[in-house]
Structures are given as C-alpha cells and as structure tokens.
C-alpha cells in the first residue's frame, strides 16, 4: 500500500510540474502512475485535494532531509544557520515546481503552504533547539521561545530577504550574527 501511495504522490508531483495545480486531475495522476483512477481513490479517499496535500507534505519532507544533510557537520550554531539559510534560499530559487506554481497559481499554493507552515516552523525550531542550548542563551531567554522566534525569522528571510543577498556567504554571516542571533545567545568571545 505504501508503494502505491508513493507512486501516486510522485505522479502527482510530475503532473503539477508539467501542468500546474489547477490543471492536474486525478485522471492525470492515475495515468502518470500507471494505475486506475479507482486505485487513486482507494488510496486517497479525499480525492485530488488529498493527493495534492500529500504531495506537498512529501516534497516538504524531502526538502528537510536534504537540509539536514547540508547542515550536518556544522561547527557551531552560526555556521549551521548560515549553511541552512543559503541552502534553503537556493533550493527555493531552483525548485521548478514551486517556481512554476508561485508564478502561475499562487492562490492555489498559499492555502496548502499555510497548512504546512506550522509543521515547517516546528521542524526548523526542533533542529535549532539543541544548537541554541549548546551555544548558550542570553539571560532570560527561553530556549523554546528562542527556537520558535529564530524559525519564524529564518522562514521570513528565506522567502523575502530584503536588503540581504542570501547567495553571498559574507552577507548571510552578518545577517545571522547581527540580526538573528543578537540578543538571543550569549555573545561569542573573540578568537
């Protein structure tokens, strides 16, 4: 059953990449997966919307798996955040499906992302929490509040970097050190 589910989700992803969310039908997904519409509906009783939501969840988990690989081996909190921000920003720019849907059907994407946003923020906060504890928090800063704050800020900058060039390692380092971590962690001692 899991194999069938995965085939349908991957087929849905391929269809959305070609046609967009609005034009992707259950028939398209079934044809792409090499199975009947009845199988799609048995696997996803909620139909098209359930498949689309499962596809977004799958793509989100795939992204976080790659992000986790990218930040492995970071020497400290600052390096981990710098690597993560640069990877996430680049991933969004290069993500064909996301760019296509954002360009042609943002009204279809935003409700789906809103549903996923809490899970995404919680995932980022969970990754940040042990690094924050190890780094040392400024007096009076709650670790859970700090992780949640940083997750929200990272998501904000990734999607709307403002004056920061997130492809420039020096600028990302300044962003992390002077804006994101200032007041949250104990200042690093000069080397």
Which domain CATH number covers 43?
1.10.10.60
Based on the fold, state whether residues 31 and 123 are members of the same structural domain: no
Which pLDDT belongs to residue 108?
64
pLDDT score for 171 = 96
Same domain, 140 and 108: yes
Indicate if the pLDDT at residue 20 is higher than 90. Answer: no
Indicate whether 32 and 122 sit together in one domain. no
> Is residue 60 included in any domain, yes or no?
no
Is residue 68 domain-resident? no
Structure tokens at 16: 């959305």
pLDDT, one tens digit per residue, over 57-73 is 888 788 888 888 999 98
Domain annotation covers residue 67: no
| Nearest-angstrom CA–CA distance, 184 and 45 | 46
* 172 & 88 share domain: yes
Residues in CB range of 69: below 8 A, 6 or more apart = none
Q: Which domain holds residue 35?
A: 1-52
Domain shared by 28 and 78, yes or no: no
Number of structural domains found in the chain: 2
The dihedral over CA atoms of 115, 116, 120, 121, expressed in degrees to the nearest 10, equals: -10
pTM for this model (two decimals):
0.79
pLDDT in tens, 131-165: 898 889 999 999 999 999 999 999 889 878 899 99
Residue 151 resides in a domain: yes
Is 65 a member of any domain? no
For residue 190, being part of any structural domain is answered with no
HEC string of 2-38?
HHHHHHHHHHHHHHHHHHCCCCCCHHHHHHHHCCCHH
Higher pLDDT, 3 or 115: 3
Tell me the pLDDT tens digit for each residue of 73-131: 888 899 999 999 999 888 888 877 777 777 777 676 666 666 677 888 898 899 899 98
Give domain status of residue 94, yes or no: yes
Same domain? For 90 and 136 the reply is yes
Residues 90 and 28 in one domain: no
- The answer to whether residues 86 and 12 belong to one domain is no
Q: 42 and 77 share a domain?
A: no
């Amino acid at each position: 059953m899991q194999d069938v589910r995965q085939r349908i989700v991957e087929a849905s992803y391929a269809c959305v990449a070609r046609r967009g969310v609005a034009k992707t039908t259950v028939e398209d997904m079934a044809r792409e997966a090499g199975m009947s519409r009845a199988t799609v509906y048995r696997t996803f009783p909620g139909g098209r919307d359930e498949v689309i939501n499962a596809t977004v969840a799958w793509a989100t988990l795939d992204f976080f798996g790659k992000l986790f690989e990218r930040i492995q081996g970071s020497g400290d909190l600052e390096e981990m955040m710098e690597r993560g921000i640069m990877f996430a920003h680049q991933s969004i720019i290069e993500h064909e499906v996301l760019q296509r849907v954002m360009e042609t059907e943002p009204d279809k994407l935003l409700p789906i992302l809103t549903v996923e946003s809490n899970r995404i923020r919680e995932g980022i906060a969970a990754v940040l929490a042990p690094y924050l504890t190890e780094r040392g928090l400024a007096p009076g800063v709650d670790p859970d509040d700090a992780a949640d704050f940083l997750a929200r800020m990272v998501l904000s900058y990734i999607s709307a970097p403002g004056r920061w060039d997130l492809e420039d390692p020096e600028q990302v380092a300044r962003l992390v050190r002077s804006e994101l971590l200032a007041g949250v962690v104990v200042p690093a001692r000069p080397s």
